[in-house]
């Protein structure tokens, strides 16, 4: 465990908790966290996770914009549910991204868990996009992914990060319950 990992983990807890509370400050705090974690994952050769953090950086900016819509506060995103077709489309795209990235990482890098790391990356992108769009289903997907991440990080010796993702799992459960009760919840 490094000081960098500890600081990134602390920011992660704050960012995810603020997300549950629908506080737009989750996005800039999350931006700092993902930039720091990109370096942590580079150091342990989880290259798909490193790339995921860099893509998250862009998605953090997108989420911040979606949640605040500068100059158009009344147009800011409201919690909504995905219909079956867009949900399956998102999961299908996650699968395709996982397979393509897994093949690339297995063939061209010395990644230690190329396929699992790529699958977690592909589906995390879907979950993050759904979160930026305030889709209720983001929490269910995060719960599944976070549980698997815990196992991967334990295997890689990133014990603090594994504990962080265990906490993320609990926070995701809380997020699902809170967003489900949101009075603005609408069908998309």
Please tell me the predicted confidence (pLDDT) of residue 173: 97
Asked if residue 172 is part of any domain, the answer here is yes
Please tell me the predicted confidence (pLDDT) of residue 145: 98
Q: Helix, strand or coil for residue 81? A: strand
Task: Please give the full DSSP string across 83-98, using - where no structure is assigned.
Answer: -HHHHHHHHHHHHHHH
What integer is the mean pLDDT of 93-113?
93
Asked if residue 75 is part of any domain, the answer here is no
Phi-psi region of 182 (alpha: psi -120 to 50; beta: other; left: phi over 0): beta
What integer is the mean pLDDT of 146-161?
92
Please tell me the predicted confidence (pLDDT) of residue 73: 56
Residue 173's domain comprises 3-70+80-187
pLDDT band, very low/low/confident/very high, at 12 (cuts 50, 70, 90): very high
Assess whether pLDDT exceeds 70 at residue 153. Answer: yes
Number of domains in the chain: 1
Top pLDDT among 87 and 46 is at: 87
Assess whether pLDDT exceeds 80 at residue 149. Answer: yes
What does residue 76 show for φ and ψ, rounded to 5 degrees? -60, 150
Please tell me the predicted confidence (pLDDT) of residue 48: 79
Assess whether pLDDT exceeds 80 at residue 175. Answer: yes
Asked if residue 114 is part of any domain, the answer here is yes
What integer is the mean pLDDT of 56-65?
92
**pLDDT cut 70: percent of the chain above it:** 94
Q: What is the pTM (predicted TM-score) of this model?
A: 0.84
Please tell me the predicted confidence (pLDDT) of residue 69: 77
Q: What is the mean pLDDT of the chain?
A: 90
Asked if residue 129 is part of any domain, the answer here is yes
Please tell me the predicted confidence (pLDDT) of residue 186: 58
> What is the rounded distance in angstroms from the CA atom of residue 128 to the CA atom of residue 134?
10
Please tell me the predicted confidence (pLDDT) of residue 112: 85
Please tell me the predicted confidence (pLDDT) of residue 78: 84
């Amino acid at each position: 465990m490094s000081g960098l990992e500890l600081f990134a983990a602390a920011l992660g807890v704050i960012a995810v908790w603020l997300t549950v509370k629908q506080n737009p400050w989750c996005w800039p705090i999350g931006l700092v966290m993902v930039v720091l974690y990109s370096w942590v994952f580079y150091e342990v050769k989880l290259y798909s996770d490193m790339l995921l953090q860099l893509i998250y950086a862009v998605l953090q900016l997108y989420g911040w914009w979606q949640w605040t819509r500068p100059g158009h506060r009344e147009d800011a995103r409201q919690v909504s549910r995905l219909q079956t077709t867009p949900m399956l489309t998102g999961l299908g795209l996650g699968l395709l991204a996982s397979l393509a990235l897994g093949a690339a990482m297995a063939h061209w890098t010395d990644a230690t868990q190329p396929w699992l790391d790529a699958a977690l990356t592909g589906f995390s992108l879907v979950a993050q996009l759904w979160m930026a769009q305030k889709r209720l289903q983001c929490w269910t997907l995060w719960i599944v992914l976070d549980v698997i991440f815990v196992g991967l990080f334990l295997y890689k010796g990133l014990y603090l990060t594994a504990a962080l993702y265990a906490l993320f799992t609990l926070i995701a459960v809380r997020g699902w319950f809170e967003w489900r009760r949101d009075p603005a919840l609408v069908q998309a």
